[in-house]
């Protein structure tokens, strides 16, 4: 079993986490709604991630809803001391599996309590406020409500998700922000300048869809590079992110043990500079 230690570690809040973590969203059923067809494999994926050294798991109670958190509890509770579970609030699921905003103070409070109950925790390590209100919206009202829940001791640290630089600046005037979770991968690099900016403040950047999300990355350059390194395209995509900046924490998602092993082995993949520069040009060649 490979270990993620070679990927290194970075501080998330007051804890050091290994840079190769795991995103648990895919453990729910199709469309991230309802139970998975094979719950035993879901539990096995979580246990193998942790036994391989993963100590950063990303989740939300609106995955399933509730199902992903319940699987995490079943697989891992009582949790290892060094495990950091990061959740997100600000959305809810409609009965038709739609993703709806849920960012009133009452909804945010309910969401934190749902996470605590389904994960069997007294306090959540990190809660990301998932912005569902658009790029122009003020995040001040929901973030103020989340900061109140932090003051009540229910939340240790706060992060932001799906936000612009202006919204991050607004958020940092309200409370300490320890991480930003936005869409980013080797072929989708809208946040390049933001990533460089957050590095200076030692705020972790956690890209969602690191493998392309619902449209997994595909490109002949990625495949050629992977062949030349004796790796798979997904491993190269993850290794490129690890090389991109030391404050980037990875949370690739999978429901498969084989994919999990493949992804975690990216911790040991060396991407030489000339290969990295070739991949830097990928953004204009491929849609993610
Ligand atoms: N803040 C937000 O708004 C937000 C949004 C989306 C996601 N997230 C978080 O980010 C995490 C990562 O995002 P994600 O899971 O949506 O996308 P992702 O990690 O980019 O890709 C996951 C997809 O790639 C497939 N996959 C994984 N490893 C593979 C491999 N080695 N070879 C081929 N296919 C592979 C998975 O299918 P299999 O299951 O078949 O492996 C799944 O369909 C989520 O788990 C979630 O925690 C956050």
**What 8-state DSSP symbol labels residue 281?**
G
This prediction's pTM = 0.97
Q: What pLDDT was estimated at residue 284?
A: 56
Does 223 map to a domain? no
Q: Could you tell me the distance, in angstroms and rounded to a whole number, from the CA of residue 64 to the centre of ligand 1?
A: 15
The residue among 182, 186, 122 whose CA lies nearest residue 156 is 122
| Whole-number Å distance between alpha carbons of 179 and 184 | 14
Q: What pLDDT was estimated at residue 287?
A: 44
Q: What pLDDT was estimated at residue 281?
A: 86
Does 274 map to a domain? no
Range of the domain at 83: 9-216+249-256
Residue 68 CB–ligand 1 contact under 6 Å: no
Domain count, the chain: 1
Element spanning 146, H or E: helix 140-151
Q: What pLDDT was estimated at residue 2?
A: 66
Q: Which atom of ligand 1 is nearest to the CA of 59?
A: 47
Residue 159 CB–ligand 1 contact under 6 Å: no
Q: Residues of the chain whose pLDDT is less than 70?
A: 1-2, 284-288
Does 68 map to a domain? yes
Residue 253 CB–ligand 1 contact under 6 Å: yes
Residue 161 CB–ligand 1 contact under 6 Å: yes
Residue of 25, 111, 253 with the most ligand 1 atoms within 8 Å of its CB, for mutation: 253
Q: Are strands 9-12 and 15-18 parallel, antiparallel or unpaired?
A: antiparallel
| Whole-number Å distance between alpha carbons of 212 and 101 | 23
Does 47 map to a domain? yes
Q: Which atom of ligand 1 is nearest to the CA of 210?
A: 20
Does 1 map to a domain? no
Q: What angle do CA 127, 143, 34 make, to 5 degrees?
A: 45
CA 103 from centroid of its chain's CA atoms: 20
Does 264 map to a domain? no
**Residue 162 belongs to domain with CATH number:** 3.20.20.100
Does 155 map to a domain? yes
Residue of 2, 22, 26, 287 with the most ligand 1 atoms within 8 Å of its CB, for mutation: 26
Does 141 map to a domain? yes
Q: What pLDDT was estimated at residue 283?
A: 74
At residue 138, the 3 state secondary structure works out as: coil
Q: What pLDDT was estimated at residue 203?
A: 98
């Amino acid at each position: 079993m490979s270990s993620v230690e070679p990927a290194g570690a970075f501080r998330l809040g007051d804890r050091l986490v290994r840079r190769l973590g795991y995103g648990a969203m895919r453990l729910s059923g199709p469309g991230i709604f309802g139970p998975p067809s094979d719950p035993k494999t879901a539990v096995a994926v979580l246990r193998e991630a942790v036994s391989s050294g993963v100590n950063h798991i990303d989740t939300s109670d609106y995955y399933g809803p509730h199902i992903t958190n319940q699987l995490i509890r079943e697989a891992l509770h009582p949790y290892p001391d060094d495990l950091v579970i990061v959740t997100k609030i600000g959305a809810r699921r409609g009965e038709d599996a739609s993703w709806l905003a849920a960012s009133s103070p009452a909804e945010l409070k309910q969401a934190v309590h749902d996470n605590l109950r389904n994960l069997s925790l007294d306090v959540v390590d990190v809660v990301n406020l998932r912005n569902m209100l658009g790029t122009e919206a003020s995040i001040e009202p929901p973030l103020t409500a989340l900061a109140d829940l932090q003051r009540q001791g229910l939340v240790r640290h706060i992060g932001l998700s799906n936000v612009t630089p202006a919204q991050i600046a607004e958020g940092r005037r309200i409370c300490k922000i320890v991480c930003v979770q936005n869409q980013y991968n080797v072929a989708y690099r809208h946040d390049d300048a933001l990533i460089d900016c957050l590095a200076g403040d030692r705020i972790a950047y956690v890209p969602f869809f690191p493998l392309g999300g619902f449209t997994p990355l595909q490109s002949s350059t990625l495949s050629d590079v992977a062949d030349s390194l004796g790796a798979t395209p997904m491993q190269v995509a993850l290794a490129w992110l690890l090389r991109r900046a030391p404050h980037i924490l990875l949370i690739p998602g999978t429901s498969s043990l084989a994919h999990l092993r493949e992804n975690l082995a990216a911790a040991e993949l060396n991407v030489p500079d000339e290969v990295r520069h070739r991949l830097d040009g990928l953004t204009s060649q491929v849609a993610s």
